[in-house]
A = this chain, B = another copy of it.
Amino acid sequence: MIAEGSERATLLVSCPDRRGIVAALAQVLYGHGANIFDSVQHTDPLAAQFFQRLHFDLTDLQTDRATLERAISEVAERFGMRYELRFQRQARRVALFVSRYDHCLYDLLLRHRSGELCCELPLIISNHPELEPVARQFGVEFKVVPVSTDAKSAAETAELELLAERGIELVVLARYMQILSADFIGKFPGKIINIHHSFLPAFVGGKPYHQAYQRGVKLIGATAHYVSAVLDEGPIIEQDVVRCSHRDAIEDLVRKGRDLEKVVLARAVRLHLEERLLIFGNKTVVFE
C-alpha cells in the first residue's frame, strides 16, 4: 500500500472521543520526522465522536513508510480508530458512469486534464453508446454495458468485473440514469458519488426539475452525495443553488441546473480525492 518516493501524505481518522488522541497522533508523526502542514479536527459533541485530518510532509522522514504506517496502526488500535493513510503518489483510480448527458462528463474530463483532480481516470462505463466519441477525445476507455429491466443483474456483474479488472477505487455517477442495486452499492461502501439535480431532500426521485417547476420554487439546486441503499438518501457531500423565477420554463431550469450539477459534482469528487471526507452515520464531515 505504500509507494516509495512521494513527499506528502494524508491521514484521516475517526473514533470515539477521548483525551489524548490529538497528542498521540501528533507524537507519532513528529517522532518519525513527519512535518504536519495542515490539520483539522472536529468532535461531534452529541455522538462523542472524534474526527481528524492530518496532511504532512515526508521529506525528512527518519524511518521508512512501512515503519510509520505500523506506528500509526498501533495508535489506531489503541483508540479504536478507523483510519485511512494515503501517500500522495498513490493516485486513486476512478471510473465514471454516464448515460446520455455529456455536461458532467466533459466537465470532469476537462478538470482532470487541467490537473484539478488528482486521480487516474482509466474507465468510463455507459448504458448507451452515444458518448463514446467524447471518451475517445480524451483517450479514456469507454465500455457500453446496456441495462435492460430484466437483465439488470447481469449488467451489474459485467460492470463489477470491469471495475475489478481496472483496479477502480471510486465510482462517480456523472448523471448516470440507472439505479444501482443494494448489492452493487454494498461492494463500494462510501466509494460511489452521485449527483442529484435538486437540493435534497426536496424533490427526491425522478424528474426533479419538473417537480421544482410545479412547486414554483425560487431556487433550484443540486446535491452530490454518497450512494447508499436507499435512493437519494445517502450522506450529502455538497449542495448549491441558483435563483430561478416565473420566467423559467422547465428547459431553463434544466439549463441553469447543468451549471450547478457540474460544479457541485466536481467539488465533491475533489473533496473525496483530497481525503477531506469522512462518513459518520448518514452524514459527512467535510474538512475543507
Contacts and interface: CB of A to CB of B under 8 A. Distances in A.
Interface of A: 17-20, 22-23, 25-27, 29-31, 33, 35-46, 60, 102-103, 106, 110, 114, 116, 137, 199-203, 215-219, 221, 235-241, 245-247, 249, 255, 258-259, 263, 282-286, 288
Contacts of A40: 39-41
Contacts of A45: 37, 249
A263 to B, nearest CB: 6
Given A22-B39, A29-B23, A217 B200 contact: yes
Nearest to A255: B116
Number of identical protomers: 4
Nearest to A19: B35
B22 A26 contact: yes
Q: Is chain A's interface secondary structure helix, strand, loop, or mixed overall?
A: mixed
B239 A217 contact: yes
A219 B241 contact: yes
Given A19-B33, A137-B137, A284 B216 contact: yes
